[in-house]
Structure 1
Amino acid sequence: MSDSTPTSQGVQFQTVEADYQDQRIDNYLLAQLKGVPKSLVYRILRKGEVRVNKKRVKPEYKLQAGDVVRIPPVRVAAENPLPSANLAQVQALKDLILYEDGLLLVLNKPAGLAVHGGSGLQFGLIESLRALRPEAKHLELVHRLDRDTSGCILIAKRRSALRHLHEQLRNKIMDKYYLALVRGQWQPHVKRVTAPLLKNTLKSGERVVRVDVQGKPSETKFRIVQKYATATLVEASPITGRTHQIRVHTLHAGHPIAGDPKYGDADFDQSLRELGLQRLFLHAHRVSFQHPQTGQTLTIEAPLDEQLQEVLSQLKRV
């Protein structure tokens, strides 16, 4: 167990690196002071306890390379120690890297691995990668995948790359495609689902999403890849990025995803368990985006794992 007792640190003076050029001081502090409440960050800014080049600044001040930031003593949550880079599950990630250069990497995330530690998990994908790449000081997730979903996930190595890729997500320049095995015969005319989604958190802490007119606008495009006697393999491309979006949109269309413990169909899942399916059949199989430095369009594909391939091989095509 890691010690998560908050620790108090003395006055810090940080020289701003070029990677943080034009970042607002409030966002910079929120990233540096992990676990510190937002209200406290804004209080120390308001009171002038944070100084940039010995001067008081407002929260919207944009940092410049070479600025010296004075951060007063605050109590920060102790970070979980990184896992050992020698752990088998950490080393195994090396073989799952699909693309890597100085600015980013794309990895074929295995099902069952959370992207972040927390909620009883000592470490997740990002902590494992930080242990594996200690020289990369700014590794950050560009986007997320549910713990049970496998496939392409982007990790930025520099803040400039993260900013560029986030901009592509906001402007819908980045395209993500998923393969999902769903119950029954998907109707060819259903090419998109636009049902609004509302997120609820149960008393247990579990997140459940449902279609609701009060929800956020959501859109997913669908294409039939292969029809089977009792199921359809579809390609899903989310236009918006809501929690559990593809899983709830397929359910709304009358075709829940195989192996989905939250939104699935028990009888359908049992029939596929008999074919060896032990996980959610949802896989981020392709991602397409512009390289942050060259502007070149990169398309990266992640193959289905052996379990998913084996299940498909046993289904009867129609």
Structure 2
Amino acid sequence: MSKVRFLEVTSEEVGQRLDNFLLKHLRKVPKMLVYRIIRKGEVRVNKGRAQPSQRLVLGDLVRVPPVAMAESGEVVTPPKTQQDKIEGLILYEDDDLLVINKPSGMAVHGGSGVSWGLVELVRNLREDARRVELVHRLDRDTSGAIILAKKMSALRSLHEQIRQDQVEKRYVTLLAGQWPKAKQKVDLPLLKNTLRSGERMVEVSPDGKPCLSYFFLQQQFKDAALMEVKLVTGRTHQIRVHARAQGCPVIGDEKYGFDEVNKLFKEWGMARLALHAKRLVFKQPSTQQTIEIEAPLFGDFTRIIKRLEQEGD
């Protein structure tokens, strides 16, 4: 059992999320325990309670309570097969960052019942990426392009680009039903709630945060629409809730979707959320050159599109 510690945020740690900061300093502590002590309010930032997603600033004082350390044999190493799989899904890499085509079903990091995720895979995969951090997030069931920074300077640069709306994010999704042809701009505020069970739910609400998405119809099938979506803001479940608000939820969405539609597409081979982060455009942190990334669709997605096209013939 460790003792109470007070950790001061250094210049190299500015901009880190609280959970990532703790996971770095508590490497021998089970990840589920790290998230539990944050949730219970045992971790304090400048004497106040904090959320896992809180960004730290220079000089913040983080109180870390006594926690049980894992034995060395309990440290989880992601399976070698998964490391090999991720190696083949790297879309771009340089000294500052990596961009990976994340599969659906893979968490971005360990915690909340998941022993390892994409971050842990990359840290085990690359000697120069032992301190790699997420630049942004994708839901576990969403596939596609995600950026990971190898250096804190790169992380800060990319976060600043996101804050300045200088990172372009586009998604491909399959929606249930007939998309209203004249509808492109969806400007609806979203409010995030946490149920008693701990599940996160998001709803359209005037009390929510401003959210703006643009939906572009690519192909309209009999009972489904292939869409490209451009995000202006990046809220939790934004595409999923904005789509549902138009009566066309994302296919495979067990939280906001239609059960019968999901069941049908599962039988057809789409047994996951039909949402894919297709395109990223940003400035390389060191050179400021424009980087454009296209993440290919996975096989289940392309096969469903082909079947929908055949059904319309």
Shift of 1:143: 0.5
Shift of 1:138: 2.2
Determine which of 183, 187, 208 is the counterpart of 1:190. Answer: 183
The structure having more radius of gyration, on CA atoms, is 1
One-letter amino acid matched to 1:157: K
Q: Structure 2: which 5+ runs fail to align?
A: 27-33, 48-55
1:276-295 equivalent positions in 2, closer than 5 A: 276-295=269-288
Matching residue of 1:268: 261
Shift of 1:188: 2.6
One-letter amino acid matched to 1:245: Q
2:251 aligned with 1:247 = no
Quickly say closer, same or farther: Cα 1:74–1:191, change in 2 above 3 A.
closer
1:145-184 equivalent positions in 2, closer than 5 A: 145-184=138-177
CA distance in 1, matches of 2:133, 2:217: 34
One-letter amino acid matched to 2:46: Y
Matching residue of 1:206: 199
TM normalised by structure 2 equals 0.81
Identity of aligned residues (%): 42
Quickly say closer, same or farther: Cα 1:208–1:74, change in 2 above 3 A.
closer
Matching residue of 1:83: 77
CA distance in 2, matches of 1:215, 1:301: 32
2:3 aligned with 1:8 = yes
- 1:86-126 CA deviation, whole Å, 9 max, x = no partner? 62112211001000010000000000001111121111111
Quickly say closer, same or farther: Cα 1:152–1:11, change in 2 above 3 A.
closer
Matching residue of 1:20: 12
Contact 2:44 2:64 in 1 (8 A): no
Shift of 1:242: 0.9
2:123 aligned with 1:130 = yes
Q: Structure 1: which 5+ runs fail to align?
A: 1-5, 44-58, 64-70
Quickly say closer, same or farther: Cα 1:77–1:199, change in 2 above 3 A.
farther
One-letter amino acid matched to 2:2: T
Quickly say closer, same or farther: Cα 1:74–1:314, change in 2 above 3 A.
closer
- 1:17-43 CA deviation, whole Å, 9 max, x = no partner? xx729x49xx8x965655586865536
CA distance in 1, matches of 2:229, 2:290: 20
Q: Give the CA RMSD over aligned residues.
A: 3.4
CA distance in 2, matches of 1:175, 1:165: 12
- 3-state secondary structure, aligned to 1:220: strand
- 3-state secondary structure, aligned to 1:173: coil
Determine which of 232, 235, 238 is the counterpart of 2:231. Answer: 238
CA distance in 1, matches of 2:6, 2:255: 47
- 3-state secondary structure, aligned to 2:46: helix
Shift of 1:72: 10
Matching residue of 2:46: 42
Contact 2:124 2:130 in 1 (8 A): no
One-letter amino acid matched to 2:181: P
Equivalenced residues, count: 288
Matching residue of 1:53: none
